[in-house]
């Protein structure tokens, strides 16, 4: 019984950590640029979860003040994450733009092939 | 709880699948699940943003990039032992760190007693805005939001610089992408 | 383009409501969930949806790229300008209490203007990014 309660109390943290680690793994292990960006955004959303889940109070309501309610969720992480999401999509699109330009320059979005092309053209040192 | 497990399953799918189109669609599903979880966590503003941004706009952008590039991922040559090891060790350390964290949904944790409680109490008398998220975002932490807006502005300018169709200055375009 | 008549008609019915919802989120953000960020993204999603269904050229006729590119810095300028007003009156930067006769109304005006600035920048940036990605042909 105690063990079950312990697991339930920390389940959200563990899922957060799992998502974070999965994102990290995708970023490090996969050579494809688009896949890397997806992994990066998974990493990012896990951080959103990390911020938001301690702010929740069981039996509480969203932080919109109204009569007859008490026990609001903490508004501060909401604000931080709200801006982080929009900034996240802006930076994601910047990364995607870089991927498109890399694809135009190298004809591929795989890391290994880009390195090969780099080595072939090493003396020329252009692009 | 079910949602969280479902989200983990979708992430496993994202890691395994090699077709990038499926990856992007799974990413959209993941974002919607994330938005639902945020709704459960009482973060309505954030859930709305995540549903619109994560599942809507970024999926569209990803798909347009896939149209411009390729939709298949290659099989990696070297086996991913080292990244797997790094990931597992990081995960283990983080799980060890959570043992001492307060349990989920408790009201008297430190974070609920500091500035968050003050915002909740003072928002109506000081700003007259019932939605505390809006008042904190725009008023108490206006500098923060100004910075975020500037970041978005910068990212937008960067994308435009990178992606703008080169119409007349063909030879100078390589200079532009350096900057 | 013949087979998707259902999509075209239903999108034509839906689009005003989506845009309306975006504006509701913008102006009702003080009382319910919402604000400049969400409203900007919803408005941008309206434009993107229209572009997906009806093509890029008609969309660019309605919302020209130049206007979108002006919107990006305009929002930041609105935001920063609201702060400068406070500075000119002799208060600290981004202090909205001086914008009206008393503190509550000043705060309300300040939040409204700041959210408007955020809306303009976010909507402009999203649409501009979408135009940039889709306007570029397959190489």
- Provide the whole-model pTM: 0.81
Q: Which residues of A touch C133 (CB under 8 A)?
A: 93, 96-97, 100
**Is the Cβ of C25 closer than 8 Å to some Cβ of chain B?**
yes
Give the mean pLDDT of B11-28. 80
Q: Which of A35, A88, A89 sits opposite B20 (nearest CB)?
A: A35
What ipTM goes with this model? 0.81
Closest CA to C136 of B158, C128, C73, B54: C128
Question: At residue B169, does pLDDT exceed 60?
Answer: no
Q: Integer distance in angstroms from the first to the last C-alpha of chain B?
A: 46
Residue ranges of domains in chain A: 2-120
Contact B115 A76 (CB under 8 A): yes
Contact B116 A22 (CB under 8 A): no
Residue ranges of domains in chain B: 1-74, 119-164
* Per-residue three-class SS string for B15-68: HHCCEHHHHHHHHHHHHHHHHHHHHHCCCHHHHHHHHHHHHHHHHHHHHHHHHH
Contact C83 B53 (CB under 8 A): no
- The fold of A2-120 is Helix Hairpins (1.10.287)
Question: At residue C69, does pLDDT exceed 70?
Answer: yes
CA distance A49 to B174: 40
pLDDT at A87: 85
Local confidence band at B175 (pLDDT 50, 70, 90 cut-offs): very low
Chain C: residue whose CA lies nearest to A97: C133
CA distance C37 to C45: 12
Chain B: residue whose CA lies nearest to C73: B153
pLDDT at C49: 87
Q: Which of C122, C129, C136 sits opposite A86 (nearest CB)?
A: C122
Question: At residue B178, does pLDDT exceed 70?
Answer: no
Q: Which of C33, C35, C125 sits opposite A90 (nearest CB)?
A: C125
Per residue in C74-111, pLDDT (tens digit) is: 888 888 888 888 777 776 776 776 666 677 777 777 88
Question: At residue B85, does pLDDT exceed 80?
Answer: yes
Question: At residue B119, does pLDDT exceed 50?
Answer: yes
* Residue C28 in domain: yes
**Into how many domains does chain C fold?**
1
Helix (H) or strand (E) holding C101: none
pLDDT at C2: 60
* Residue C139 in domain: no
Give the mean pLDDT of B71-99. 78
Residue with tokens 């063909």: B170
Contact C30 B129 (CB under 8 A): yes
Contact B128 C104 (CB under 8 A): yes
Local confidence band at B179 (pLDDT 50, 70, 90 cut-offs): very low
Contact A82 C41 (CB under 8 A): no
* Residue C83 in domain: yes
Per residue in B54-68, pLDDT (tens digit) is: 888 888 888 888 888
Give the mean pLDDT of C32-37. 78
Q: Is B150 exposed, middle or buried (0-12, 13-18, 19+ CB in 10 A)?
A: middle
CA distance C32 to A21: 35
pLDDT at B147: 87
Q: What is the DSSP code (8-state) at residue B132?
A: H
Chain B: residue whose CA lies nearest to C124: B156
Share of chain C above pLDDT 90, in %: 0
Task: Supply the Cα-derived Rg of chain B in whole angstroms.
Answer: 22
Dihedral angle, C-alpha B74, B77, B83, B88, nearest 10 °: 80
For residue A8, report the phi and psi dihedrals to the nearest 5 degrees.
Answer: -60, -35
Contact A96 C133 (CB under 8 A): yes
Average pLDDT, chain C: 82
pLDDT greater at residue C119 or residue B178: C119
pLDDT by residue, tens only, chain A of 127 residues: 577 777 777 777 888 888 888 888 888 887 788 888 888 888 988 888 888 887 777 777 777 777 777 777 778 888 888 888 888 888 888 988 888 888 888 877 787 788 888 788 765 555 4
């Amino acid at each position: 019984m105690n063990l079950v309660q312990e697991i339930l109390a920390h389940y959200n943290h563990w899922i957060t950590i799992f998502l974070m680690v999965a994102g990290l793994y995708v970023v490090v292990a996969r050579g494809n640029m688009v896949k890397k960006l997806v992994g990066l955004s998974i990493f990012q959303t896990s951080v959103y979860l990390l911020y938001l889940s301690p702010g929740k109070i069981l039996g509480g309501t969203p932080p919109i003040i109204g009569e007859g309610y008490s026990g609001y969720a903490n508004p501060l992480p909401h604000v931080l994450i709200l801006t982080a999401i929009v900034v996240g999509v802006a930076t994601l699109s910047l990364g995607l733009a870089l991927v498109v330009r890399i694809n135009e320059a190298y004809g591929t979005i795989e890391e290994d092939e880009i390195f090969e092309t780099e080595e072939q053209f090493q003396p020329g040192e252009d692009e | 709880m079910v949602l969280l497990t479902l989200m983990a399953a979708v992430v496993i799918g994202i890691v395994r699948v090699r077709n990038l189109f499926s990856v992007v669609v799974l990413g959209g599903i993941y974002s919607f699940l994330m938005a639902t979880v945020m709704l459960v966590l009482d973060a309505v503003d954030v859930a709305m943003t995540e549903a619109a941004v994560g599942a809507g706009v970024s999926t569209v952008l990803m798909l347009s990039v896939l149209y411009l590039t390729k939709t298949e991922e290659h099989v990696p040559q070297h086996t991913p032992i080292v990244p797997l090891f790094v990931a597992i060790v990081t995960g283990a350390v983080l799980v060890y760190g959570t043992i001492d964290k307060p349990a989920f949904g408790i009201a008297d944790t430190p974070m609920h007693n500091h500035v968050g409680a003050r915002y909740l109490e003072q928002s109506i008398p000081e700003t007259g805005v019932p939605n505390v998220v809006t008042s904190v975002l725009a008023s108490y932490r206006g500098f923060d939001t100004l910075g975020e807006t500037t970041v978005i502005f910068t990212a937008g300018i960067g994308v435009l610089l990178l992606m703008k169709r080169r119409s007349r200055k063909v030879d100078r375009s390589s200079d532009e992408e350096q900057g | 383009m013949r087979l998707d008549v259902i999509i075209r008609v239903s999108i034509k019915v839906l689009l005003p409501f989506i845009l309306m919802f975006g504006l509701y989120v913008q102006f009702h953000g003080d009382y319910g969930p919402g604000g400049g960020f969400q409203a900007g993204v919803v408005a941008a999603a309206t434009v993107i949806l229209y572009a997906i269904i009806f093509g890029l050229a008609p969309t660019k006729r309605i919302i020209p790229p130049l206007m979108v590119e002006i919107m990006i810095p305009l929002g930041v300028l609105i935001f920063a300008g609201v702060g400068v007003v406070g500075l000119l009156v002799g208060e600290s930067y981004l202090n909205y209490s001086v914008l009206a006769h008393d503190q509550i109304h000043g705060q309300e005006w300040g939040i409204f203007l700041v959210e408007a600035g955020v809306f303009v920048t976010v909507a402009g940036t999203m649409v501009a990014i979408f135009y940039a990605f889709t306007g570029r042909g397959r190489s």
